[in-house]
Structure 1
Amino acid sequence: MRRRTPKPAAVPRVLIIVQNLPVPFDRRVWLECQSLVQAGYDVTVVCPTGQGTGPEQVAEGVRILAYPPYAPGGRAVGFFLEYAYSFLATARLAVKARRRGAFQVVQACNPPDIFWPLAWALRLRDGSRFVFDHHDLCPELFESRFPDGPAAFRRGLLLLERATFRTADRVTSTNESYAAIARKRGRKAPEHVTVVRTGPDPRRLKRQAPSPELRHGREHLVAYIGVMGPQDGVDIVLEAADFIVNTLGRNDIQFMVMGAGDCWADLVSERDRLGLQDHVDMPGRVPDETVTAVFSTAEVGLSPDPLNPLNDVSTMNKTMEYMAFAMPVVAFDLKETRVSARDAAQYVEPGDIEAYARAICELVDDPSQRDEMGRRGRQRVEAELAWEHQQVGYVAVFDELTGHASAVHHPTSAAAAPTVAPLTRSES
């Protein structure tokens, strides 16, 4: 069937679909929404509901339609059920959103790679163009979470990825490694792939007055923020803390481990088994104010992501957030982590937990090195990584597809998100 020509619109309408996190909780998607609104687009998001959000709301000019999340978790079959439910719920809300008028552009964010049929249907009906916002590598994500999982599942994920790339008019990838996969595995033309990093907003993410009480009377504080799944390496933080406290006998370092995920309860149990209750705080997800207080007090940021097919080529948002707060980073030596952090991180051979623990100690014991690494990280965020720089290329993709004449030269003033939008927890 012949593709329809998109209908002209005084205010182009954009539908953004995201399943992995609610909006505005998903920091990357929220920054994208705000940049499009600033550029003169009418933006609707379909996503799962989050804490403090309802089924329908308008926040900072963005219309959000949300469905109750369903995540049975566990084995691979749980993800199949979750994604089937999410697809049907998203399709229902997309039809509802379409009643207000056709969408000139549909953007789907992954994981998962399942929404291309909706984009295809809207293309046939209205001539909508499709942008694939490439957050994760779903086949590698499955392989990293379930290394012994059925090979048929990975083949199926590759087919879904291929269909998504084939349907997409344009791809926005979070880093050059992902862009290379879009070009090679997805067979996209180089001019149809744009790297748009999930850059932090340095005006919002910056050090404030420290909160010494977070150290619980100890001299130093180190921090982690992020998802707590099997592939995220939070267990490595606990092993490093165990080595520092129970092997090296250091009682001067407090750990703050913020975030939630499939493994949170098991990790808390492991912390308690190791006798680290007094040294490791694990409050779960916390509000922005707490994150800012922690990052303004902590001296080192932890990026313990282990080497696996996904992590090696993924950009970790927490790493750049640490850098925005002028914190040096301790990380395993992964390809894209080096691209992001450069000399703002202390790199350790992947898998060497004792070396990881000793690197933490070296940094807390060397304030001059900490300060210099933190300064370099903050400078890199301001000069290159900040959303101020990334949003220009992102909006240009939509302008090209719609013919809309917008000009985005400055970071969105609304990037300081509404109160219902905590700092990012997504990892790529």
Structure 2
Amino acid sequence: MAGKALILVENLSVPFDRRVWQESTTLRDAGWDVHVICPQGTKRDTEPYAEIDGVKIHRYPLKAATGGPLGYVQEYGSALWHTFRLARKVGRVDVVHACNPPDLLYLVAKRLKRQGARFVFDQHDLVPELYLSRFDRGQDFLYRAVCRLERLTYRAADVVIATNESYRDVAVSRGGKRPEKVFVVRSAPAVERFRQVPVEEALKKGKPYMLCYLGVMGPQDGVDYALRALAKLRDEVGRKDWHAVFLGGGDTFDEMVALSRKLGLSDQVEFTGRISDEDLLRYLSAADVCLAPDPLNPLNDVSTMNKIMEYMAMSRPIVSFDLKEARVSAGDAALYAPANDESEFAKLVAHLLDDPAERGRMGEIGRARVAGPLSWEQSSKALLAAYEAAVS
């Protein structure tokens, strides 16, 4: 079955994009000659070309979008041009594997299909729902445009990879794909990367407890909900015995730092920006409770949150809003506040701080889930089955 595969990704560099890197190495181990086209990183993955562990990575310079939807038009146009350019350099392939967003990469796939390639569409995000959740502009012209691009991508794809059953249902119902051509490849942490290290009490800044948020900080990611919940934990619940750390960066990073100051949380909330894997283990090992504040919106309710999977890999208990796919991922490893209810979110955090036995039990449940039924070992089997369906 193995041949030459080209993976296209626009929103993160590789191997920083953990899902794409896991897919790449899984295919490599199955005998595929794997090429990846992606943007260059700013602090890592900066070389235009690198061969890492047998995976050939072609990178292009890309300026991130600013200024709303029109900024993304410029970003995606530049990314598409570079992707076409580098795809010509890679040459003929047996499979072109496009990871969205955006749903423009099907244009590259269609050109390669004319040369005999099969097209695997790896749907990381439901872009119409992403548009509604991020920009709050309703079903305007740009919304209708992204819906059309999604339809064209589905139509061009020989096989669709979905990150969960909710996305699979969309591919079948809205995308019109035959069920046997849609495979669920869940994002799953490599559990061997996540290990407990000795707790550094200094990270807690003199407080008995530490709370932790890990992930991107964009308009739909709920960091503002987390900060308001922490203010309520202090003001309504009367708890000041915690220090909170927010790990990661994103479009709203500066805005969230300003909001923490406005809420009077500067002395209890720390923003680290993006950190190394080693520091990630230090902070998560010291965390008593981890936060998944993604609010209910059209995208979040049906999306699998990587932060939840990584919290579980580190045996951390979680407080989340009550979202469909959050429950599928975490199960009993999390407590669930009613959607977008910041006061209840704060109360659940306080409940876990007072119950170390419950925290330990939830952590064990989470680790068992990501090491077992939700592991990458299971996802890799589905990935290889998708490729077999594409080429057979």
TM-score normalised per structure 1 = 0.89
**Whole-angstrom distance in 2 between the partners of 1:386 and 1:117:** 32
Q: After superposition, give the CA deviation of every residue in 1:76-111 in whole Å (9 maximum; x if it has no partner).
A: 11111111111111111111111xxx2000000011
- 2:27 corresponds, among 20, 36, 60, to 36
1:138 aligns with 2:111: no
- Aligned pairs for 1:115-264 within 5 A: 115-125=105-115, 127-149=116-138, 151-264=140-253
- 1:13 corresponds, among 1, 4, 11, to 4
CA contact (8 A) 2:120 2:390 kept: no
Pairwise CA distance, 1:367: 0.4
CA contact (8 A) 1:179 1:195 kept: yes
Counterpart position of 2:294 = 305
- 1:110 corresponds, among 96, 100, 103, to 100
Counterpart position of 1:60 = 53
CA contact (8 A) 2:35 2:58 kept: yes
**Whole-angstrom distance in 2 between the partners of 1:281 and 1:253:** 12
Counterpart position of 2:323 = 334
TM-score normalised per structure 2 = 0.97
**Whole-angstrom distance in 2 between the partners of 1:210 and 1:339:** 30
Pairwise CA distance, 1:348: 0.5
- What's the RMSD between the two structures over aligned residues? 1.3
Pairwise CA distance, 1:247: 4.2
Counterpart position of 1:420 = none
**Whole-angstrom distance in 1 between the partners of 2:386 and 2:23:** 12
Counterpart position of 2:68 = 75
**Whole-angstrom distance in 2 between the partners of 1:255 and 1:190:** 44
* SS of corresponding position for 1:347: strand
* SS of corresponding position for 2:193: coil
Q: After superposition, give the CA deviation of every residue in 1:276-335 in whole Å (9 maximum; x if it has no partner).
A: 222111011111111111111111111000000000000001001111111111001001
**Whole-angstrom distance in 2 between the partners of 1:344 and 1:267:** 27
Sequence identity percentage? 46
Gaps of 5+ in 2: none
**Whole-angstrom distance in 2 between the partners of 1:148 and 1:160:** 18
**Whole-angstrom distance in 2 between the partners of 1:235 and 1:370:** 25
Counterpart position of 1:319 = 308
CA contact (8 A) 2:239 2:350 kept: no
* SS of corresponding position for 1:209: coil
- Aligned pairs for 1:41-52 within 5 A: 41-50=32-41, 51-52=43-44
* SS of corresponding position for 1:140: helix
